[in-house]
């Protein structure tokens, strides 16, 4: 990494701390991962701006603050089995994989699914299992999960995902339509009851059903 990018990265991490990111494990992992490798070359100078950036298939790599915030609110532990809905560029996936025992991640866009798999190989991340599929259905064969993170906004919280949580498990998901204010929501399962807490206003791409074979 050149000195200019490193300086911007250091400044970004300081900004995340000032914005309330206090989980040092999350900050350490984000310090280790080169965000510039997950975006197009022409965007590399913007890699450490605190902003979402476009990736292929009309999707985005989330704003670093949102990555840090959602990860911190998920309270991931080293022995956890985690499900991620929306692999995207693979950046958030690697953040989670560095913090948990096993990560299962689902992507509905084939180009993103393939490119993320290549990134996992490049970074030698071996505790990630990928699936090209419909994330709204979750991953029944691998349930239950200690934690679930959804990286697209659902108009409603999918029941299929709720019931793939372990008792005591936590899910983080943006909720709201594209024409309304969305919020990150944290859901904790207690048997057949779910404690729902509304957290931060956000703007995410929509959580959609089905699969897409090309960009």
Question: Would strands 53-55 and 59-61 be described as parallel, antiparallel, or unpaired?
Answer: antiparallel
Q: What are phi and psi of 158, to 5 degrees?
A: -65, 125
Query: Is 62 known to be catalytic?
Result: yes
Torsion angle in degrees (nearest 10) through CA of 96, 100, 102, 103: -20
**Do strands 81-85 and 59-61 pair parallel, antiparallel, or not at all (unpaired)?**
unpaired
Cβ-based burial of 63 (10 A; exposed 0-12, middle 13-18, buried ≥19): middle
What secondary structure letter does DSSP report for 78?
A: T
In 82-119, which positions are buried (b, 16+ CB within 10 angstroms) versus exposed (e)? bbbbbbbbbbbbbbbbbbbebbbbbbbbebbbebbbeb
**Structure tokens that stand for 7 in this block:** 């300086």
Catalytic residue among 62, 89, 93, 115: 62
Element (H, E) at 202: strand 193-202
CA distances in angstroms from 101 to 90, 120, 147, 181, listed in the order given: 17, 15, 11, 34
Strand partners, 49: none
Active site residues: 62
């Amino acid at each position: 990494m050149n000195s200019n990018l490193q300086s911007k990265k250091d400044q970004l991490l300081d900004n995340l701390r000032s914005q309330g990111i206090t989980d040092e494990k999350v900050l350490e992992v984000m310090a280790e991962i080169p965000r510039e490798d997950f975006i197009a070359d022409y965007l590399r100078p913007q890699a450490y701006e605190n902003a979402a950036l476009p990736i292929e298939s009309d999707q985005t790599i989330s704003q670093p603050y949102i990555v840090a915030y959602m990860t911190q609110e998920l309270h991931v532990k080293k022995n956890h089995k985690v499900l991620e809905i929306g692999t995207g560029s693979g950046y958030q996936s690697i953040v989670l994989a560095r913090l948990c025992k096993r990560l299962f991640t689902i992507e509905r866009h084939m180009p993103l699914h393939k490119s993320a798999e290549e990134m996992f190989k490049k970074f030698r991340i071996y505790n990630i299992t990928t699936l090209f599929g419909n994330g709204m259905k979750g991953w029944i064969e691998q349930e239950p999960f200690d934690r679930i993170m959804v990286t697209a906004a659902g108009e409603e919280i999918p029941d299929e995902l709720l019931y793939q949580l372990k008792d005591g498990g936590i899910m983080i998901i943006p909720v709201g339509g594209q024409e309304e204010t969305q919020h990150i929501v944290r859901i904790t399962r207690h048997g057949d009851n779910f404690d729902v807490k509304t957290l931060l206003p956000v703007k995410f791409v929509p959580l959609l059903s089905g699969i897409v074979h090309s960009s």
